[in-house]
Amino acid sequence: KAGVTQTPRYLIKTRGQQVTLSCSPISGHRSVSWYQQTPGQGLQFLFEYFSETQRNKGNFPGRFSGRQFSNSRSEMNVSTLELGDSALYLCASSLGWEVEAPRGTEAFFGQGTRLTVV
């Protein structure tokens, strides 16, 4: 079955602009999480959506927002871009609830969107 698809793969934006990243989870998965990866801070959790509702949020400013659609696809938006927002943004897909088999908690990642802010 198809994996997690993130678009676009690469993006170059100017400081002050806004950007929208997209993530299509594995079919049947209802949880989508977003992570930011930078050399200095490593992998940091942004937020998680389940059935169109934000369930968890990390410690990021309000410029970072997201949403999830009824088909579980998710978008992440960053407004008023700063140079420090340059990073690899990764999306993870999970079933989203505990199931009998431990596989329910596994998270599968997309290839990421590499955002460069200049």
Partner 1 sequence: AQKITQTQPGMFVQEKEAVTLDCTYDTSDPSYGLFWYKQPSSGEMIFLIYQGSYDQQNATEGRYSLNFQKARKSANLVISASQLGDSAMYFCAFRGGSNYKLTFGKGTLLTVNP
Residue 80 CB, nearest distance to partner 1 (Å)? 25
Span interacting with partner 1, options 14-22, 54-62, 63-71, 74-82, rule CB under 8 A: 54-62
Asked if residue 33 binds partner 1 (CB under 8 A), the reply is: yes
Asked if residue 98 binds partner 1 (CB under 8 A), the reply is: yes
Asked if residue 68 binds partner 1 (CB under 8 A), the reply is: no
Written as one string, the DSSP assignment of the chain is ----EEE-SEEEE-TT--EEEEEEPPTT--EEEEEEEETTTEEEEEEEEETTEEEEE-S--TTEEEEE-TTS-EEEEE-S--GGG-EEEEEEEE--S--SSGGGG--EE---EEEEE-
Residue 62 CB, nearest distance to partner 1 (Å)? 19
Q: Which residues bind partner 1 (CB under 8 A)?
A: 31, 33, 35, 42-43, 45, 48, 50, 55-56, 58, 88, 90, 92, 94, 96, 98, 102-103, 105-112, 114
